[in-house]
Amino acid sequence: MTKIVVLIVAGGVGGRCKGYDLIVPKQYATIKDKPILTYTIEKFLNNKDVDLVRTVIREDHKNLYEQAVSSLPGTKLLHPIYGGKRRQDSVRFGLESIVDVSPDIVIIHDACRPFIADKTISDIISFLSKNCEITQGVVPATAVTDTIRVVVDNSIKSHVCRNTVKALQTPQAFKFNDILTCHKLAHSIDPDKEFTDDSSVMMEFNKSVAVINGDDDNLKITTKEDLYRAQVLQEVI
Q: Do 50 and 173 contact (CB within 8 A), yes or no?
A: no
Domain 4-236 CATH (choose: 3.90.550.10, 3.30.70.1290, 3.40.140.10, 3.30.420.40): 3.90.550.10
Distance of CA 198 to the CA centre of its chain: 9
In this prediction the pTM is 0.93
137-188 pLDDT tens trace: 999 999 998 899 999 999 999 988 888 899 999 999 999 999 999 999 999 9
121-144 pLDDT tens trace: 999 999 999 999 999 999 999 999
- Measured over the CA atoms of residue 171, residue 58, residue 79 and residue 35, the dihedral's sign is negative
64-99 pLDDT tens trace: 999 999 999 989 999 999 999 999 999 999 999 999
At 214, the pLDDT band (50, 70, 90 cuts) reads very high
Residue 39 CA to residue 37 CA, distance in Å, equals 5
At 20, the pLDDT band (50, 70, 90 cuts) reads low
Residue 185 CA to residue 179 CA, distance in Å, equals 10
The CA-atom distances, in angstroms, between 89 and each of 6, 190, 206 are: 16, 12, 20
Residue 91 CA to residue 84 CA, distance in Å, equals 8
